[in-house]
Structure 1
Amino acid sequence: MTGNEPTTSHLGEHPATTGERADWLEALAKQRHFLRFTTRDLTDEQARLRTTASELCLGGLIKHVTEAERAWGDFIVNGPSTMPDFTAMTDADWARRADGFRLLPEETLAGVLANYAEVACRTDELVATLPDLDAAWPLPKAPWSEPGAQWSARQVLMHIVSETAQHAGHADIIRESLDGAKSMG
């Protein structure tokens, strides 16, 4: 695929998407595939295992990327009011946030993958239907955000693709440490 071919929405409700929007959909699909692929043929218990010095596990990475994509999609539509003020979070808030990086005992890998698929469809719908990819909002308050900075929908999409790719790499290392399986190579 060159990125110039029409891409249909995952929901099937919109006409073919072309140009830049098709490129975004292709980039998102590719990185999501690599991330999901790291969980192939795993049990829930395997998806919970920490196999490296990191606190991360495969199920937790899927949960985190899902939540991040959901939150940034909300940001595209409604702005920073939909996101927490990270500068005002308490230790308890950070502890709850840490659970977003773990596959908890009551959760299943199939469940978090299904949730990820739902969020991906919503994001794809946004990419296909947003009236203006240049529309911007101020970034939420966070120690890592430049004060006064704004991100356009396009910049948010770039962040989602980048974060998904980064975590797909993390997931590949975790999976290789688990049982030797690799996404590539």
Structure 2
Amino acid sequence: MTATPSSSTATATGERADLLTALAKQRHFLRFTTRDLTDEQAGLQTTASELCLGGLIKHVAAVERVWADFIVGGPSAMPDFTAFTEEDFARRADEFRMLPGETLAGVLAEYEEVARRTDDLVVELPDLGATQPLPKAPWFEADAEWSARRVLMHVVAETAQHAGHADIIRESLDGAKSMG
């Protein structure tokens, strides 16, 4: 698994190429933690955390999908976090684990599709400075707006953070490391 640029990266220039390169690098590190694993291993919780490698990739794919939808459709593309029920929280928790019938190959394929869609969006957006109001949620500042650029930087940061989590989980599983 190497960090291969998408066809979108090849057509992008300047800031857009930089954003796509940063996304590709962090996605690579996250996916790389799953190399040579079985579906069962991808679902194992190897640390004090409830996180597993397959679940982390599912989560990052879901988050990237929602943020890409937000860039295009604004806050209505995101869940209403202020009205979350116990069922909503349970469904969200399922993002962090491998469920019966899910495979690592399937999770990785879904992530690849989400990444392709985001990459295409970065190339096709008329203006990276276009803003959308953030939805109401306890973790967002009130009445704030984020530009497409800021959303994409957030996705890069979120992917990098979870790639670090994944590296620790993988090292706890079998001693394999992404670097070093």
- TM-score range (shorter-chain normalised) is over 0.9
Q: For 1:110, which of 100, 105, 114 is the aligned residue? A: 105
Matches of residues 76-91 of structure 1 in structure 2 within 5 Å? 76-91=71-86
Give 1:11 shift: 5.8
Say which SS state the counterpart of residue 45 (structure 2) adopts.
Answer: coil
Retained in 2: the 8 A contact 1:66–1:119? yes
- 2: distance between equivalents of 1:140 and 1:68? 14
Segments of structure 2 that go 5 or more residues without pairing to the other structure are: none
1:59-92 Cα deviation digits (max 9, x unpaired):
0000000000000000001101011111110111
By how many angstroms is 1:16 displaced? Answer: 2.2
- Distance in 1, matches of 2:5 and 2:44, equals 37
Cα contact 1:9–1:128 (8 A) shared by 2: no
CA contact (8 A) 1:9 1:17 kept: no
Aligned-residue sequence identity (percent) comes to: 77
3-state SS of paired residue (2:132): strand
Cα distance between partner residues in 1 of 2:127 and 2:151: 13
Q: CA RMSD in A?
A: 1.5
Which residues of structure 1 form unaligned runs of 5+? 1-6
User: Are 1:155 and 2:150 matched, yes or no?
Assistant: yes
Distance in 2 (CA, whole Å) between partners of 1:8 and 1:42 is 24
C-alpha separation in 1, matches of 2:176 and 2:7: 29
Match of 1:3 in 2: none
TM-aligned CA deviation for residue 170 of structure 1: 0.1
Tell me whether 1:65 sits opposite 2:63 in the alignment.
no
1:74 counterpart residue number: 69
Look up the match of 2:7.
10
Number of positions where the alignment pairs a residue of Structure 1 with one of Structure 2: 177
Q: What is aligned with 2:25?
A: 30
Q: Residue deviations 1:130-166, cap 9 Å, x none?
A: 0000000111121101110110000000000000000
Residue 40 of structure 1 is matched in structure 2 by: 35
CA separation in 2, counterparts of 1:66 and 1:16? Answer: 23
TM-score (ref. length: structure 1)? 0.92
